[in-house]
Amino acid sequence: MLILIVDDDESIARVIGSYLRQSGYEVVAVHDSTSALETIQRRTIDLMILDIMLPDGDGWRIVDKVRRDSKLSHLPIMILSAKIEDADKIYGLQLGADDYVAKPFNPQLVVAKVQRMLQRFYPNRISNVLRIGELEVNTDNRECRLAGDVIPLTPTEFAILKTMMENSGYVFSRAELISRSLGYQYESLERTVDSHIRNLRSKLEADADKPRYIQTVYGVGYSLREED
C-alpha cells in the first residue's frame, strides 16, 4: 500500500518513511502543497500523512480540496502538526481529517495509527491481498493468482491490474489508467494501454471476447469488476 508523506521538514519525512518502509509499506514524500496535490492526482495513494504548515500554503487547503473531489474524497488523511491546541485538532477533524498526531511524536505510534486506519478503511485488503471473485493480487510479493493458479505478469501488466483492482468498479480513461498505474503522463502513447489490456485478458479471461473481469466502457476506457 502506498503512503504519501507531506512535510516541509525533510528529516521528519525521512524518519517516518523509514519506519513505514520497515513495516512493509511503499512511501512517497513531498515537501509542499503543490507537489502533494499533483501526486494524489496522478498516483493511487492509500493514505496521506499531512503537515499543516507548508511553504506554499497550509495543509487545511489540501484537506478541503481532497474532501470536495469525488475521486479523492475517500482518501484517509492523518494530520501531523506542531499545532497542538484543541481548537486546531477539532478544526482539522471537522474539515475532514481522520486522525491528528501532534509533534513531537513517536514514529512507532504513527505506524500503529497508520496500520489501524488502513485496516478500517480497506477491510478487504487484509495481508495486502486484493480479491475479486477468483482473481487475487498479492501486493507484497507481486503475485497474481486466478482460481489458485499463479499467472505470470509483466511489471506493467501487474501495475495496471493492481490499480484497477484497488479501484474496482471505477471507469478509467486510458490516460488516467497509465498515469495512475505507472506514475507518469503517457498521453502520446495512451493507445498502448489497449495492448496491455489485451494481454491481461489473454491471461485472465477464459474468453477474451467475453471478459469476466476487465470490462470495456465504450467511449471512456476500462473498468475492472466481476461479471456473471
Distances (CA, A) of 60 to 101, 204, 224: 15, 43, 33
Among 116-125, 160-169, 182-191, which is the least confidently predicted range? 182-191
* Mean confidence (pLDDT) of the chain: 86
> Which pLDDT tens digit goes with each residue over 69-126?
888 888 999 998 887 778 878 888 888 889 988 888 888 889 888 988 888 888 766 5
The CATH class that applies to domain 2-121 reads alpha beta
What are the boundaries of each domain within the chain? 2-121, 126-224
pLDDT tier for residue 3 given thresholds of 50, 70 and 90? very high
pLDDT of residue 88: 78
pLDDT above 80 (res 28): yes
Q: How many CA atoms lie within 13 A of 201 on its CB side?
A: 19
pLDDT of residue 202: 94
Give CA–CA dist 224/132, Å, rounded. Answer: 9
- Contact criterion met (CB below 8 Å) for 182 and 159: yes
pLDDT above 90 (res 161): yes
pLDDT tier for residue 170 given thresholds of 50, 70 and 90? confident
> Which pLDDT tens digit goes with each residue over 93-107?
888 889 988 888 888
Give CA–CA dist 181/114, Å, rounded. Answer: 23
What pTM, to 2 d.p., does this model score? 0.57
pLDDT of residue 125: 62
Query: Three-class SS of residue 13?
Result: helix
Mean local confidence (pLDDT), 162-189: 77
Residue 187 CB burial class (10 angstroms; 0-12, 13-18, ≥19): exposed
Distances (CA, A) of 81 to 17, 84, 203: 16, 7, 47
pLDDT of residue 126: 53
What CATH number was assigned to the domain covering residues 126-224? Answer: 1.10.10.10
